[in-house]
Amino acid sequence: MMTKEMIYEEFNIVKNKDAKKKKNNYAHTIAYLQGHADAKKEHPNQYRHLDINFDNLIVMYQSGDPEMYMYKKHGIEPYWMKQQREEEEEKAKRKSGIKDDKKDIIIESIDTIN
């Protein structure tokens, strides 16, 4: 019987194999997911307790860029994109001269304690 932890550990190993290649085409990851999708169809009792949809994961990795697929399909923003957006907002705040009220409140409360 497969557990999520076992699948995640194996998945990270396979992802690292793909990351080592110069051109990341996710071949190992897709093969790994395809193997589990086939095994789930042949032996559903071993995967019954898992709520992993391997077919959707295969489509996501076959798209070439899984992060952008998730962003376009489901609206889930990748971490690097979120950081970039927040940095741009911070630069715009500094440029326009807007102060961060939270920092001012914390400083005032610390001053009142002392």
Residue 72 lies in a domain: no
Residue 9 lies in a domain: yes
Same domain, 8 and 60: yes
Give the list of residues 6+ apart from residue 14 with CB closer than 8 angstroms, or none.
28, 29, 32
Q: In terms of residue numbers, what domain contains 108?
A: 77-114
Cα end-to-end distance, the chain, whole Å: 60
Same domain, 49 and 98: no
Domains in the chain: how many in total?
2
pTM: 0.65
Residue 75: pLDDT band (50, 70, 90) is confident
Dump pLDDT digits (tens) for 13-62: 998 888 888 777 888 899 999 999 999 999 989 988 989 999 988 998 88
Query: For residue 24, what is the DSSP state?
Result: -
Tell me what pLDDT residue 34 has.
95
Count the neighbouring beta carbons within 10 Å of the beta carbon of residue 77. Answer: 14
